[in-house]
Amino acid sequence: MSRRGSAIECAAQGPAEWFDDLFGRYFPRVYAYAVTRVGTAQAEEVASETFAIAWRRRDVVPDVPLAWLIGVARNVIREQYRDALRQDLIAAELTAWAASTPVSGDVAELVADRDVLLRGLAALPEQDREVLMLLGWHGLSPREAADVLGCSRPALTMRVHRARRRLERRIGGAAHTARRESGGTDE
């Protein structure tokens, strides 16, 4: 049968039953593939994302879906590697920028504050970092940032609020650690 056969089977069985059958039959094999590529720590995430994609694209899942599912898992893994590389490159770029920017005033305090801020930004999830940098670093207005992100202004406001809270938590913990390591008080 063709790819269309799976869509007909899905319609005949009902989507939930079709997916339960697909998941029951193929999850262990997709999980095993993922273990060989990314280890047990990430394998379940890869396999779960693979089946989420299969659910969303159930109209194109072939009758014999194992090769298709493993191809999807391979793409999920590749995207995770790209995301990790992108995160590492951004962290390195932020660190390089911090090292090359001239400072004035109390150099030690400015360097420590900048280091804490950049470490906090680098530790944020990509979505949080992006929304904060669009507004603070790139100087976009809230309306412009909302357009870039494809969301409404109220949604942007909520994202900014949450991102700032996460950054404050990271900076607060980093500042506390820096004060402790330098022998300063925490009051």
pLDDT of residue 104: 59
Q: Is 28 left (phi over 0), alpha (psi -120 to 50) or beta?
A: alpha
Q: Measured on CA atoms in the order 143, 149, 151, 156, is the torsion positive or negative? A: negative
* 187 residues of the chain, pLDDT tens digit each: 344 445 555 556 789 999 999 999 999 999 999 998 899 989 999 999 999 999 999 999 999 999 999 999 999 999 888 887 877 787 777 777 766 666 555 655 655 677 787 788 888 888 888 888 888 878 888 888 898 889 999 999 999 999 999 999 888 865 545 555 555 544 4
Whole-number pLDDT of residue 117: 78
Distance CA 10, CA 163 (A): 40
Residue found under tokens 């412009």: 144
Q: Which CATH number goes with the domain that contains 159?
A: 1.10.10.10
Residue 96 lies in a domain: no
**Per-residue model confidence (pLDDT) at position 112:** 66
pLDDT of the residue at 160: 93
Number of domains in the chain: 2
The answer on 117 and 77 residing in a single domain is no
Taking the C-alpha atoms of residue 41 and residue 187, their distance in angstroms, rounded to an integer, is 39
Residue 89 located in a structural domain: no
Look up the domain containing 31 and give its range: 3-82
Q: Say yes or no: 22 and 58 in one domain.
A: yes
Give the domain-ending residue among 30, 47, 82: 82
Instruction: Please tell me the predicted confidence (pLDDT) of residue 6.
Output: 55
